[in-house]
Structures are given as structure tokens and as C-alpha cells.
Structure 1
Amino acid sequence: MHYIYILRCADDSLYVGETSDVGARVLRHQAGEGSGFTRQRLPVTLVHAEQHADRRALA
């Protein structure tokens, strides 16, 4: 399975990403290892995750 997810950052901005493991990916964001965008806007909160059969289905 693959997921699209949305995070709300501390400054109220939103970040959209994709992953095969939402929980692990959110933890990486929280640790400052997720992306440059979220690293500067910690902490983040998961606000939505949408499951898809595979990565190709996200297009």
C-alpha cells in the first residue's frame, strides 16, 4: 500500500507527501529528517492520510 498524507506545521502551513509507511514517515518529520520544509516548521501534526493500492495509483 501507498499513502498520500497531509501534515499541519507549527506555523499552520500544510505539507503534502507520499510514503508506504505513514507512521514512520511522520516520526522522521518530527525528528527533523523528513524534509527541509517541515524541519523549519516543527512540530507537525498528521491531519489526513489516504491509502492507495500502489505508488502508480497516486498519479
Structure 2
Amino acid sequence: KTSADAERAMVKEAKSGNYDLVVMGVKMRPGNKVFFGQSAAAIADRSPVSVLFVNS
């Protein structure tokens, strides 16, 4: 299994369930720009509901 499998599973669940919000714990990468990583970005792009990132 890959991170792409997890991304697809999360988006599929968000689409099939009765959800208003996806909450994800993420590690921010160092730098001047906000950047969360490939998986978090993919889920935010594909999710049918709002996504809240929490720095963990």
C-alpha cells in the first residue's frame, strides 16, 4: 500500500459519509511558505468537504 491508497480511501470516505469536515494532523515543513506535504495537499484538493489541518 502507498500513501496514494490512503489518500484515495480518505477522499472516498469523505464522499460516502455524512461529513462536513475532515480534520488532519500534519507536520509542517520548514521554510517561509506554508507547505504540508503531498498527501495532505492531495486530500485538500480532492475532498468534497472542508479540510482542517492541525499542526501535530
Q: Where on the TM-score scale, by shorter chain, does this alignment land: which range?
A: under 0.3
TM-score by length of 2: 0.27
Q: Which has the larger radius of gyration?
A: 2
TM-score (norm 1): 0.26
Higher helix share: 2
Higher strand share: 1
